[in-house]
Chain A
Amino acid sequence: MIPGTHHGSFFLILRRMRAPLILLILIFAISVLGLTIVPGYDENGNPARMSFFHAFYFISYTATTIGFGEVPNAFSEAQRMWATLCIYMSVVGWAYSIGTLFALFQDKNFQHALKVEQFARAVRRLREPFFLICGYGETGRLLTRALDRMGLRVVAVEVDEVKAGELELHTYYADIPTLVADARYPEVLRLAGLTHPNCRGVMTLTNDDTVNLSVAIAARLLAPTLPALCRSESPESTANMASFGTRHIISPFEKFGEYLALALHAPSAFHLLEWLTGVPGSLVEPHRDPPHGRWLLCGYGNFGRILTRSLRQEGVEVIVIDQGPAPADYEGEWLCGDATGAQALRTAGVETASGIIACVGSDVNNLSIAVTARELKPDLFVILRQNHFANAPLFDAFPSDLRVVSSRIVAHECLAILTTPLLVPFLAQIKQRDEAWSRRLVKRLTDRFGWKVPNIWSVRINAENAPALFRLLMPAGPIVNLGSLLQDPADRARPLECEVLYIMRDDDGTVLLPDSDQEVRVGDQLLLVGTREAQSALALTLENPNTLDYVLTGHDVPGGWVWERLARRRA
């Protein structure tokens, strides 16, 4: 779609139908006029002319091929002659008009105009919060599915018609308005609801950094308060996005570099992070921790460069194997050769290395490197980069230690930022604690909830999100502590299957891993981890005053005015 040239489809119909409609009017006019002039007979056989009313009646049913016969009286020969002519004229007129109309409906431009209009209407009518996703690729798909499962609405913009068509094939709970258009145009973003009051965030996840950059700047200028999550693969575009204040720049490679560095110096913290930021319901398999020592890195692209830097910062020795020559700014050991062959790997000293990172642009080559390296040294720690989602079965079959799928990293990061904003400060605090502390926490949490990724959610104690508790606490109410709040609304003797990880107070004070006697205050934001059932149970407690009363005190208060009056009288 080229913005600015788009007209309403209704006006397009009117414009295109001008000629056929005028032709039809003329044919009708000539036919009716002729019938009123051509001599005929009345019911008694006297010469008479047809009235306009009868002529119009006759032509109406003849032209539309209904054909009631000669009404009101039998026609004269002259009238029959004229009627024959009228029939042929009207058939041509109708054929032309209907043909034009059908051609219009088949017209690509017209269909596109219709689709754009439907899309814009669907977006305009969204009465609930929604997220705008630009680029429905692998990342977009993962994210859309996760958001949809959480009951959040999504609007998608995708330039590729085939990918956008896939969206209709996948099953989602909610209807997802999709526009096939280039997200680079601000007009497209506006149609997709960038400036809509219910838009809660825009995510640009295309694999083209220039598109992501244009969406980022459009979001910055058109909707400055809206959180924009922008994917960026190259350091140049990351710097560019940061220069105009994009709030969340997600670079999958940088992120993995950070993770790897964390895994090297604090393995337990890394386990915790994996467990907390995964897609809810998926299983995190405890893997062995990456060893220090000598590492081989195959493929020095954007990803290789970032990983080399992170590894060296952790004091790990890195040998780069690449087919090309070393860039001018590179420092360190560089081996020019083909890493898929055993020859180059042996030269690099794979037998004495502790780990290998296969991160070239081709999935087949990455697998080939990994398989060869494992054959040469079976206990080698292998980090594999998977470029395409479609190759997942191959990567599943190979027992790698860590797998880098950039679409997944981006999707997890987006989810964490959007749905649980408290998770980021919490993770920052974890990174500051020592290894033993993290290990104890991981052990305690996974003993309680298992290795399946739990539900992570935030609750804010205010009138909107926790009306019952808010009303109880507001006019200097009783002191409510966490332990008494997190009880099962069905049986208060049982604690809910959830735990508070972090509290952020209104006065910016924070509590990490609060005890059960910690007080809950108005304005608190809680970060919780637990089961889906616990999440809905807690929501009920916070919303319903009767449930809250039962959970806190054990009184089963009858609902409704009449029952409340009766209960009070009895007391």
Chain B
Amino acid sequence: MNLEKVIFGFFIVLAATLNFGFFIGDIDNAVHHDVYELFAAIVVNLIATVLKFGDRTQIGAIHLSTSLVADLQLIAAAVVWGYGTTVAGAPLSADLTAKIVSLSGGALFANVVSVVILIAETIMQRR
């Protein structure tokens, strides 16, 4: 067992689970989607991205690109949230909630791909 591998796997799976936790629930119900969970998802995703830096293999490159996609989608969701509540000044509407959650849904897909690659890589090494 390798501590580095544990940390790597931990962050990738945690990024996916936090993202899933935020995503699950009615798409337009603001009560089902917590802002702290989105924040945690963004932070963990960023850390997972940095952990993937510097790997020159093909699989490393795909790993990095899925993470970058997830970052982009989650940050977009956070920006929409911040813009909708602060600049427009209105409370979180059902319409806005649906936009935010669908963006995080896209990030979730990228995170799932990332987890699948992680598993595939592990299985390849076993063989």
Contact = CB atoms under 8 A, between A and B. Distances in A.
| A and B: bona fide binding partners | yes
Interface of A: 7-8, 11-12, 14-18, 21-22, 25-26, 29, 32-33, 36, 51-54
A25 B54 contact: no
B54 A18 contact: yes
Interface stretch (B21-29, B39-47, B96-104): B39-47
Contact of B78 (A8, A14, A17, A52): A52
The 3 closest A-B pairs by CB, nearest first: A15-B54, A14-B53, A53-B82
A556 to B, nearest CB: 65
Contact of B39 (A14, A26, A33): A33
Nearest to A53: B82
B67 to A, nearest CB: 13
Interface of B: 35-36, 39, 43, 46-47, 50-51, 53-54, 56, 78, 81-82, 85-86
Contacts of B56: 7-8, 11
Contacts of B35: 52
A209 to B, nearest CB: 38
A126 B62 CA distance: 33
Nearest to B53: A14
A12 B54 CA distance: 7
A262 to B, nearest CB: 59
Given A8-B56, A29-B39, 19 more contacts: A11-B56, A12-B54, A15-B53, A15-B54, A18-B50, A18-B51, A18-B53, A21-B50, A21-B53, A22-B47, A25-B46, A26-B47, A29-B43, A36-B36, A51-B85, A52-B78, A52-B81, A52-B82, A53-B85
Contacts of A54: 86
A324 B54 CA distance: 62
B47 A25 contact: yes
Contacts of B53: 14-15, 17-18, 21
A313 to B, nearest CB: 61
B51 A53 contact: no
Nearest to A32: B39
Contacts of A12: 54
B54 A52 contact: no
9 contacts: A14-B53, A15-B53, A17-B53, A18-B50, A18-B54, A21-B50, A21-B53, A25-B46, A52-B82
Contacts of B85: 51, 53
A316 B26 CA distance: 108
Given A11-B56, A18-B51, A22-B50, A53 B86 contact: yes
A33 B37 CA distance: 11
Main secondary structure of the interface of B (DSSP, over half): helix
Contacts of A33: 36, 39
Contacts of B46: 25
Contacts of A29: 39, 43
A36 B54 CA distance: 34
A36 B82 CA distance: 13
A117 B48 CA distance: 29
A124 B73 CA distance: 38
A15 B64 CA distance: 13
A51 B35 CA distance: 10
A43 to B, nearest CB: 14
Contacts of A36: 36, 39
Given A7-B56, A11-B56, A25-B46, A52 B51 contact: no
Given A52-B35, A52-B82, A53-B82, A22 B51 contact: yes
B10 to A, nearest CB: 13
A25 B42 CA distance: 10
Given A11-B54, A22-B50, A52 B43 contact: no
B116 to A, nearest CB: 23
Contacts of B51: 18, 22
A18 B11 CA distance: 14
Contacts of B54: 11-12, 14-16, 18
Contacts of A8: 56
Contacts of A32: 39
B47 A52 contact: no
Nearest to B83: A53
A502 B36 CA distance: 88
Contacts of A16: 54
A15 B43 CA distance: 19
Contacts of A21: 50, 53
B77 to A, nearest CB: 12
B78 to A, nearest CB: 7
B75 to A, nearest CB: 11
A393 to B, nearest CB: 54
A304 B50 CA distance: 67
Contacts of B81: 52
Contacts of A18: 50-51, 53-54
A15 B85 CA distance: 38
Contacts of A53: 82, 85-86
Which of B81, B82, B85 gathers most chain A CB within 10 Å?
B82
Contacts of A7: 56
A21 B50 CA distance: 7
A8 B53 CA distance: 13
A250 to B, nearest CB: 42
A8 B78 CA distance: 34
A25 B11 CA distance: 14
Nearest to A15: B54
A53 B56 CA distance: 36
A15 B54 CA distance: 4
A33 B51 CA distance: 22
A24 to B, nearest CB: 9
Contacts of B86: 51, 53-54
Nearest to B50: A21
Given A11-B56, A53-B82, A25 B50 contact: yes
B81 to A, nearest CB: 8
Contacts of A22: 47, 50-51
